[in-house]
Amino acid sequence: MNTKITREDLCITVKNVYDKPDGFIFDVEANMANGFEVFCSIHESPEVSDVCILDTSNGLFVSWYKLSHLGRDIKSNIPDLKCLRQFIESFKQASE
């Protein structure tokens, strides 16, 4: 899979959308965003596993290793920065 966005892209986008990056981590852990699913490696907590956020309406996802290591070993099918920003904004809005 070719990753079109980078770890740096994800970190910057989260910082631009969320007042505090910890808010994003909290929303991921809560897994309460309508239209999104958060997956973690089987039988592991998000702190020590792969984390994946899936937008169930369009199949876009972003995945990385260890929740607090935002973007580490990133995998995604999000094609560009504009779509990434829309993805993170939608995730935030759906979590409110």
Residue-wise burial string across 1-16, b where 16 or more C-beta atoms lie within 10 A, e elsewhere:
eeeebeeebbeebbee
pLDDT reported for residue 3: 59
Q: Distance between CA 64 and CA 49 in Å, rounded?
A: 9
Residue 46: CB partners within 8 Å, gap ≥ 6?
Answer: 28, 29, 38, 40, 66, 67
Q: Distance between CA 25 and CA 80 in Å, rounded?
A: 22
pLDDT reported for residue 71: 93
Q: For residue range 59-70, what is the model confidence (pLDDT) as tens digits? A: 999 999 998 899
Q: How much is the average pLDDT of 32-40? A: 95
Above 60 in pLDDT, residue 37? Answer: yes
**20 vs 93, more confident:** 93
The model's confidence at residue 8, banded by pLDDT at 50, 70 and 90, is very high
pLDDT reported for residue 43: 67
Q: How much is the average pLDDT of 1-23? A: 89
pLDDT reported for residue 20: 87
